[in-house]
Amino acid sequence: MPGSHCTKGIQKNISSSTSAASSSPATTFTELQPLMADTDLPSEHGNSQENRKEKDPVQPGPTNLQRARARFLKGISYFSGDMKVFGKWMEKQFFLLQLLDWVLRGAAQVMFVNNPLSGLIIFAGLILQNYWWALNGFVGTLFATISALILQQNRGAIAAGLYGYNGILVGLLMAVFSNKGDWYWWLLLPNIFMSMMCPIVSSALASINSRWDLPVFTLPFNILVCLHMVATGHYNYNFPQVLIQPRSQLPNITWAEIDVAKLFTSVPVGIGQVYGCDKPWTGGIFIISLFISSPITCAHAVLGSAVGMVSGLALAAPFGDIYFGLWGYNCVLACIAIGGMFYALTWQVHLLAITCAFFCAYLSAAIANIMSTFGLPACTWPFCLSALTFLLLTTGTNKIFKLPLANVTYPEKNLGFFWKLKKQEKMERAKKAEKESEEQQKAIKENIILNEKEQLRLEHERMEKGMAESEASEDENDETHVEDHWVEQQGTGDEEMGHNDLTEVTLGDYD
């Protein structure tokens, strides 16, 4: 059957052109390729490798420089991104080692980073800041993870550290805001209780937020730390909190006294304040830990902190607050969340992230003032509320694409996911157009065939009449020719049919 053979040939061509199309953007963005190595779906993965093999002989062999670079990128991919390979390897290890992996990932997940190495560096930064705080943070993460295991929460989410990040913040901030000073061991009791409540509150909030496909962010941390602080308050024997009071007079702001150096260090300090740390070096270490996993996240973190600082100046905040990074940390988180994490990064989304950071700065001033009435810090409420608001936004443009929550990984991989989707859409549209034009051609051909058949029939009739009159020798030749032509056309039709079927199968794979 030549038709079916022909179909196979077309199939090959199409799939190779598909892979060519899908590999082209990878070359325009080579730096990030190792990060996106596992972007492809498994089904396609095989195809693309196969095709690469096919193409390799055609292309000239890679130079030594290219090879070295490839090896370098391959090496990077082992400890950047979400360290998937390491995570898979961990699954077969001893339980306590696994738990450590989860705790480290949980520590990094505060910044939306699912990477144990980043988590390790973050713990290093915390130790640099304060031993006691670091201990409390570790205890918090550990018990939050254990509680999630007891409550039989989703194992994948636990392994990604998604039940730990609220725990580390609860542990840290309860230590930071305790008025009893460091090494007040009784504090570990409410710390453990509140950490173990984290998965419960997370699960409850997720039940609500999942209706709008929204994450819970650090809402459980905000709720639980505020709960602990306001339940005990400043005037308490067992667990007193630092005194926070609302502003009741004009702050002393003299523009001449501004310290530009401190203003610049406020950018890393703002990043450090995400974990309640005020040392610039700790903030710097956190920046490194972000860069390791995802440069886009790192860039938006710095940008967010800068936006917060500028907003503080614009709204005439006391310089002390700005230097202390209080205007930065919420903007850092909001800018990361919108800028590539939950939206696919385009220029429009980048602008949206900056807008969100400004809005978040405004909101953090507002919430800090409101919370101070109850003797509470702003925690990360401003980030949660502003990011949720911007994630609930619906627009008519397809340049602002909100990733389905299940597909969120890290900005580079999200971007790969978005590009693939767009390419598929384009290809589908192209194929649809192609199909339509083919159908039109087919319709034309069919018309021709029908006309020819009609002629044939007429000739037959004439022939029959002619047979009676014995004038049929020329006509018979004609008929055979027409039949040949018809068979040819039919064959072409089959090919097209096969092609169309194939198209549908290919599209079906993408769905």
Residue number, 13 or 154, with CB nearest to a copy of itself: 154
316 binds a copy of itself (CB under 8 A): yes
Radius of gyration of the chain (CA): 32
> Which one of 63-71, 76-84, 195-203, 292-300 is the stretch in contact with a copy of itself (CB under 8 A)?
195-203
Question: What is the size of the binding site for a copy of itself (CB under 8 A)?
Answer: 58
| Near a copy of itself by CB under 8 A: residue from 365, 378, 449, 463 | 365
d(CA 322, CA 314): 11
Residue with tokens 């940390």: 329
d(CA 400, CA 393): 10
d(CA 93, CA 88): 10
Confirm if 290 and 281 have CB atoms less than 8 A apart.
Answer: no
Confirm if 126 and 134 have CB atoms less than 8 A apart.
Answer: yes
440 binds a copy of itself (CB under 8 A): no
State how far the alpha carbon of 416 is from the alpha carbons of 41, 82, 300, 510, in Å: 11, 14, 18, 15
242 binds a copy of itself (CB under 8 A): no
> Which one of 52-60, 86-94, 124-132, 235-243 is the stretch in contact with a copy of itself (CB under 8 A)?
235-243
| Near a copy of itself by CB under 8 A: residue from 24, 66, 207, 407 | 207
| Near a copy of itself by CB under 8 A: residue from 165, 342, 358, 417 | 358
Confirm if 326 and 368 have CB atoms less than 8 A apart.
Answer: yes
| Near a copy of itself by CB under 8 A: residue from 394, 473, 477, 480 | 394
338 binds a copy of itself (CB under 8 A): no
243 binds a copy of itself (CB under 8 A): no
> Which one of 50-58, 114-122, 127-135, 370-378 is the stretch in contact with a copy of itself (CB under 8 A)?
370-378
Taking the complex as a whole, the smallest distance from the CB of residue 318 to a copy of itself amounts, in Å, to 10
239 binds a copy of itself (CB under 8 A): yes
Q: Is 411 helix (H, G, I), strand (E, B) or coil?
A: helix
Taking the complex as a whole, the smallest distance from the CB of residue 337 to a copy of itself amounts, in Å, to 14
185 binds a copy of itself (CB under 8 A): no
b/e 69-97 (16+ beta carbons within 10 angstroms → b)? eeeebeeebeebbbbeeebeebeeeeeee
| Near a copy of itself by CB under 8 A: residue from 8, 55, 74, 247 | 247
Taking the complex as a whole, the smallest distance from the CB of residue 384 to a copy of itself amounts, in Å, to 13
User: What does the DSSP assignment read for 343-358?
Assistant: B---HHHHHHHHHHHH
User: What does the DSSP assignment read for 269-303?
Assistant: HHHHGGGT---HHHHHHHHHHHHHH-HHHHHHHHH
448 binds a copy of itself (CB under 8 A): no
Interface residue list for a copy of itself (CB under 8 A): 151-154, 193, 197, 200-201, 203-208, 211-212, 226-228, 230-233, 235-239, 247-251, 253, 314-316, 355, 358-359, 362-363, 365-366, 369-370, 373-374, 388-397
